[in-house]
Amino acid sequence: MLKIMVPTLFTVPLALLAKPPILFPTMTAYSLLIALLSLTLLNSPMTLDNYNTSTLLSTDNTSAPLIVLSCWLFPLMVIASQQHLSQDTTSRKRMFLASLATLQTALLATFSASDFILFYIMFETTLIPTLIIITRWGNQAERLQAGIYFLFYTLSSSLPLLIALLFFFNNYSNASMKLLLIIQPTYQTQPNQLLWLACTLAFMVKLPLYGLHLWLPKAHVEAPIAGSMVLAAILLKLGGYGLIRISTALYPHPQMLLYPFMVLAIWGILMTSSICLRQTDLKALIAYSSVSHMGLVAASILAQTPWGLSGALLLMIAHGLTSSALFSLANTNYERTHTRTLLLVRGLQLALPLMSTSWLLINLTNMAMPPSINFMGELLIITTLFNWSPTTLILTGAGTLITASYTLYMFLMTQRGALSTQFRLLYPTQTREHLLIYLHLLPLGLLVTKPAIASGLFH
């Protein structure tokens, strides 16, 4: 694991010391090399539960796909930010790239931590560079309010988790993920409702669960493109990953608390999908669609079946690539039109025909068209929830239908119709932008051939 973490850590001095003309090319090439190196983690020995193991860091089939996803998206964030930073001074560019590199290192440490206390520390460390990126490089003045929402939602829900982890450490002299699983029967004879709530609340806010999601649309809409990409693709997955890790140690779940969370997750799919149908802001629409997809993930993890956990991990990887690509496409429009209002940004197929193809492909994956891995993940999750309670099929089916509706609505509003008269002189798309989208589509296409790579230990 250190062969990936140490080179990633060295991107911080690289960002601060590289000569201005070669700053972006060097960062992109170096981070792409790390991304290619991280692919070796997917080649896991099937006989081993854990591998690349040290005292505090280890990887397994659950964390490896998420580590690779983080490494793969880092160079894409650098590529996407070039236009946004073009008017900035060199020192601001350096600070931005150094913040991204720090965030990337913290994310890798979080996903590879084998101890809950270390996991918590790194989980909270990701908050600082994300907050700097949102509040310093956001587009509108509301970015400070978005940063405050993000900070206080995360911190207030994380404190009970810290107390619960310290309780574990105090009682059992360790907080190791594997050891807590082994000694599980000794402390789980009677499910402690308060302990369960304290452990899961932080991850429910991070996912986010419907009702605890108000920080997300604000943070997404105000963040710069790299901030939106990292929020949608990786920071939401921290919640899902943490939930997978902690809920296996907390089994059996107290039914009194499980049912309200399940209802919120499944009802949230319908509610946020419906909100998407009446959105006027393109970035807010994509952000609410993330809440809808993460509702499926939360419900399937709480169901605690092998199919549910596999489907959740598959959908997290698929959603990470898809939502990141959607934000990249929305950003290409924003850089030309300087507005995110759907009513104004229409008819772009006439101006940017090749980008329209990318819009179509990404929208098809977003609505989980077969044979995409989004479809495989959703199929596993819906089957799991149907097995848990047949009534959920009505809600998940309606959610899938509304998801298809708002995705088509987004595509038709941005691409079809007459081009607005104020946008007659749109400069053409750059090779950099096409490369950015195709590097999202490439893993989505390749994973179709072998989805087991991204489905974790649970198949």
Say if residue 19's pLDDT is above 70. yes
What does the alpha-carbon distance between residue 388 and residue 187 come to, in Å, rounded to a whole number?
Answer: 26
The more confident residue out of 178 and 158 is: 158
pLDDT for 304-324, tens place per residue? 899 999 999 999 999 999 999
Q: What is the pLDDT of residue 141?
A: 83
Does residue 208 sit in helix, strand or coil?
A: coil
Per-residue confidence band for 188, with pLDDT thresholds at 50, 70 and 90: low
% of the chain beyond a pLDDT of 90: 78
Average pLDDT, the chain: 92
Residue type, 59: T
Average pLDDT over every residue of 253-258: 86
Instruction: Note if the bond before 208 is cis, omega within 30 degrees.
Output: yes
Residues 28, 15 contacting (CB under 8 angstroms): no
Per-residue confidence band for 459, with pLDDT thresholds at 50, 70 and 90: very low
Compute CA distances 89 → 94, 96, 228, whole Å: 9, 11, 22
pLDDT for 98-122, tens place per residue? 999 999 999 999 999 999 999 999 9
% of the chain beyond a pLDDT of 70: 97
Q: What is the pLDDT of residue 248?
A: 79
> Model pTM?
0.96
